[in-house]
Amino acid sequence: MKLDVSILFAATIGAQSVLASPIRARTAYNVKEVHNVPRKWKNIGRAPADHRLHLQIGLKQDNFDELDRHLYEVSDPEHTRYGQHLSFEEVNELVKPKDETLDLVHEWLLLNGVGEFDYSPAKDWINIYIDVASAERLLDTEYSVFQHEDGAVLVRTSRWSLPIHLHDHVDTIQPTTSFMRSTPQKSDWIQFSEPWTPPGYKPPTNETISKVCHLFPVTIECFQTLYGTLGYVQKVPGINRIGFNNYLNQTPIRPDIYSFLEKYRPEAKDEAYEFESIEIAGGQLPNLRH
């Protein structure tokens, strides 16, 4: 399922130290799901504690049966409601979890130091971004690195648990026990014998730039050379700042920023989760809560 993330939930509770403490919940933990590791996969060791996970929590939908009824009615040529399709907002309202479900899951996350998360439009999926060590405490489980015989590697677990009072409110949490992978189709990939060059393309005339900037591939070294930041050292560390603007409710995806920095500027990767988002000239951060 592709999630359209629309809400950034930033709860400021003094809980940075909580992640280092035992899991907290109003009821005891019990196993929620167990799956055998599929054939062709083998466990090659424990997952690194600092490996980042994008956990998706699937909540129990409220009126799915009612949605099913609507779909049958508007699809039946003999029904008086034929063709009167529900709007995007109406569908989201029907499948939105009960307030009790949202409140209980929020309480559990906040008690365990997870203070920043976002939703799907219907609030039936919650996204959190935490490291393996935190996920293991949260789900009372152990993550391992599994390797497929084709060489692919995934971080997964074969069982995970939840507080008993949440079992009827949470349908699934992934990635945990699912080893499904999307397989690219042949039609999605076209191999050219040589990179395609647009008509009229002229390489850079600056010798320094032309050495590192090519039509394919575009590299981080090229960008640094173009903008004159290669080897740049801050003149006033702690005071120098740089800002980026976003429009139309677009918000930075911190795990993506972390992955980029981890590859190209590893010394700065932790800043992906530290920078501040602010409102300027009447703009509003979408549904931001503190």
Listed by start position, the domains of the chain span 7-61+96-174, 195-273
Instruction: Tell me the mean pLDDT in the region 277-281.
Output: 76
Tell which wins on pLDDT, 68 or 55. Answer: 55
Q: Closest Cα to residue 258, out of 54, 4, 18? A: 54
Is residue 243 over pLDDT 90?
A: no
What are 182's two structure tokens?
């999307």
| Position 264 confidence tier, pLDDT thresholds 50, 70, 90 | confident
What backbone torsions phi and psi does residue 239 show, to the nearest 5 degrees? -115, -40
Report the predicted TM-score, pTM, of the whole model to 2 decimal places.
0.55
Angle between helices 88-95 and 64-75 (to 10 degrees): 140
pLDDT digits (tens, 9 = 90+) for 6-24: 333 333 333 333 334 445 6
SS3 of the chain: helix, strand, coil, percent, to 5: 30, 20, 55
Contact 19, 134 (CB under 8 A): yes
